[in-house]
Amino acid sequence: MDLGLYYLQQHAYDQAARVLERGATLNPQSPFLHLGLSLAQFLGGRKAQSLESAEKLLKVQPDFSPAFLLAAFVLDVNGRLKDAEKLAAQGLARPRPTAYLYYLHAAILVKLESKDYDRILKELALAGRDIPDCCLCSLTASKVHKAQGNFPAATADLEQAVRFAPDYADAWYRLASLYDRVGRKADAAQARIRFERLKADKEDRETNMLRKGFLQTLSGEGQSAGSQ
C-alpha cells in the first residue's frame, strides 16, 4: 500500500496502478487497495477502467463511501449526470458517508438544475463542516442563492470562497458580476482586476480537492495497516 500511495502522491499514476493492482490481487479483501487502484486509473486518464474498478469494489463493500464518491465523480466527469446523482444519493443513504460525497451530490444537483434548494444547501453545509476551507462548497452555494434571487447571500458565499482561496479566478469573476448587479462598482472593479491577474490559472479545483481527500483516506489506512 505504501509504495502505491507514494506513487499517487508523486503523480506517477501508471506506476501506482501497477503496484496497487498487484497488491489488490494478493489481498482482495482490502477496500483501500482497490480504491487506490481505481483512483490511479482515473488520474491516469483511464476513466472506464476506474469506474469498473470502483463498481467492483462496491459489489463486495456496499457501504464503502469513498468508492461511491469515486464512481459518482467518474460518471460526473463523463457527463452521465443522472447516473452520477443516483449513485451519489445511494452512497449518502449508507452509513457514515464522506463529507466529499455530500459536496459532490449537491454540485451534481446544481448541474442538473434541481430546484431542491433546501436539500442542496443542507448538503453543502454538511460538507463544509468537515472539508477544510471548502471554497467549492461556497461557490456552489452562491449558485443556489443566485438562482433563488438572494443576491446578498450569493455575494457573501463568493466572498467566503475567495477568503478560502484568494487565487480562485472563477470565484473572483462571479463576484465581480454580483458586485455589479448590486451596484458595488468599486468592489466590482477590484474583483475584476483580481480575476484578470488569475485567469490563466487552469487548475481543476474539484479534481484536486477530491484527490486530496482520497489521499488522506489512503494515508490513514497506510499508517494504520502498514505496508501491504
The 10s digit of each residue's pLDDT in 168-226 is 999 999 999 999 999 999 999 999 999 999 988 777 899 999 999 999 999 875 443 33
Q: Measured between alpha carbons, how far is 178 from 185 in angstroms, rounded to an integer?
A: 10
Q: Which residues contact 216 (CB under 8 A, 6 or more apart)?
A: none
Every domain of the chain and the residues it spans: 132-203
Instruction: Find the mean pLDDT for residues 60-73.
Output: 96
- Could you read off the pLDDT of 104-125 as tens digits, one per residue? 999 999 999 999 999 999 999 9
Burial of 179 (0-12, 13-18, 19+ CB in 10 A): buried
- Could you read off the pLDDT of 157-172 as tens digits, one per residue? 999 999 999 999 999 9
Give the helix, strand, coil percentages of the chain, each rounded to 5.
75, 0, 25
Predicted structure pTM score: 0.90
When the pLDDT of each residue in the chain is averaged and rounded to a whole number, the result is 93
CATH code for the part of the protein at 132-203: 1.25.40.10
pLDDT value for 227: 33
Q: Whose CA is closest to 149, among 182, 191, 105?
A: 182
